[in-house]
Amino acid sequence: MTTATTLRPADVDAARVWDVAARVPDPEIPVLSIADLGILRAARVEADGTAVVVITPTYSGCPAMGTITEDVGHALRADGYQNARVELVLQPAWTTDWITEEGRRRLEEYGIAPPSGASAVRQGPVLMGLSVKCPRCHSLNTRELTRFGSTACKALYSCRDCLEPFDYFKVH
Amino acid sequence: MSFASHDSATKISAGSAISAEEIAASGATAEPDVATYALYLGDDALMLAQRLGWWIARAPELEEDIALSNIALDQLGHARFLLTYAGTAWGKTEDDLAYFRDEEEFRSCRLVEQENGDFGQTIARQLIFSYYQHELFRRLVDSNDATLSAIADKALKEVQYHQDHAAQWVLRLGIGTPESHERMQKGLYYLWPYVDELFHDDDLTRDLSERGIAVLPSSLRADFDRRIAELLAEAELEVPDLPGAWGGDRSGEFSEHRGHILAEMQVLARQHPGATW
């Protein structure tokens, strides 16, 4: 598993850059940091002192990436780094398996159902998911209204028990 | 300060983010042939995104507005990566390539340029293209070109949603009512002459596939045909048996629709050069 805990650099200077970036919230889900979401992939300090942070997009067309790039830059400058750079990598492709336990818990508190299982075990031609739990009343009696939702990474569900609609973070 | 501009995906590096050395080594620059191949794929995605965007607020139900616009957004994301990469060969940005090329300089296939028609025709186009893209990206992941491989890896998961969405509608419309069945079948007939072009090999793709960089288009055909036939049989629809349309060999020859698409897509950038949101 390449979660945030295992990715944090061992090198002290690089780890400091990582920790600054790890506090940047996702602009669309402000209760989560980019580290919680698995968007933050690496951090390092180059020979000339430039702080480099590496992020990966959740989906190719994710409009939040621009904002995240800027926010990370601001955070690094505020922390005293004169020169900073944010790089985007595509491979390995982001997966919901990289969302931390803490991240999943906060998603649910925020009213978004976390991914219902691991991407790594999903196989076959038909996209199947496990039951999705309503973040409001915790019922499993829910249904998918549309697989495409308010953002690329979410689907829209509704709960048959409390009747409320809610966002679901798709297994990806 | 060297932050990537917030409105450009120009700062793309390929390869595993786990190793700093790999990232440092990835100031990837495409050679002209590879860049042209990236245009084939990127222009397809760009045109389809533009076509699908028309449906926003016009689809049969709100959920479908959201679905088609999400699919368009994914395709636009693929186009941005591919055009950005292509531009490295000629010192151009994604915006230069999208907004300041003329009709004959685009390399998109005719299928994605076809009009939306009714909902059945749009779904038929989506089905054909998503099934083709799935076969393409599934193999392009193994490209020797690190950037193309990374883009394919990223795009593949998204295309799985697209093809699943198209397939669900084909089943629903095919088995639905006589009216929905007829319209779905008509959509497939209308678009089928443009299928051959997706699998057309030319000197460029032959050369690049021999070098392990590109996927030979014709090599995707058998799997595409088999999967489409399985789905259409289940949907009680016929696989059209029609000859391919003339032309369409990625040489820059274009359908009558391309100019209309570009007029709408490029007008703002050309009237107000340098405009940003």
Position B26 confidence tier, pLDDT thresholds 50, 70, 90: low
In this prediction, residues A47-57 reach a mean pLDDT of 95
**Which residue in A70, A73, A93 is closest to B157 by CB distance?**
A93
Reply yes or no on whether the pLDDT at B100 is more than 50.
yes
Reply yes or no on whether the pLDDT at A127 is more than 90.
no
Alpha-carbon distance of B164 to B217, in angstroms, equals 22
Reply yes or no on whether the pLDDT at A53 is more than 80.
yes
Chain A residues with beta carbon closer than 8 angstroms to that of B77:
57, 59-62
Determine contact: B67 vs chain A, CB below 8 A.
yes
* pLDDT score of B258: 95
Asked which of A12-26, A61-75, B95-109 is least confident by mean pLDDT, the reply is A61-75
Q: How far is A137 from chain B (nearest CA, A)?
A: 24
In this prediction, residues A122-145 reach a mean pLDDT of 80
- Rounded percentage of chain B residues whose pLDDT exceeds 90: 79
Determine contact: B13 vs chain A, CB below 8 A.
yes
In this prediction, residues B20-38 reach a mean pLDDT of 71
Alpha-carbon distance of B240 to B113, in angstroms, equals 20
Reply yes or no on whether the pLDDT at B172 is more than 50.
yes
A89–B15 C-beta distance less than 8 A: yes
In this prediction, residues A53-81 reach a mean pLDDT of 92
pTM, entire model: 0.87
> For testing the chain B interface, which of A83, A85, A90, A154 should be mutated: the one with the most B CBs within 10 Å?
A90
In this prediction, residues B26-55 reach a mean pLDDT of 93
* pLDDT score of A162: 96
Q: Which residue of B has its CA nearest to A92?
A: B16
Measured from the Cβ of residue B50, the count of other Cβ atoms closer than 10 Å reads 20
In this prediction, residues B74-86 reach a mean pLDDT of 94
Alpha-carbon distance of A105 to A30, in angstroms, equals 14
In this prediction, residues A50-57 reach a mean pLDDT of 95
- Report chain B's mean pLDDT, rounded to a whole number: 89
Chain A residues with beta carbon closer than 8 angstroms to that of B13:
87-89
Position B129 confidence tier, pLDDT thresholds 50, 70, 90: very high
Chain A residues with beta carbon closer than 8 angstroms to that of B63:
145-146, 148, 156
Position B249 confidence tier, pLDDT thresholds 50, 70, 90: confident
Q: Which residue of A has its CA nearest to B81?
A: A60
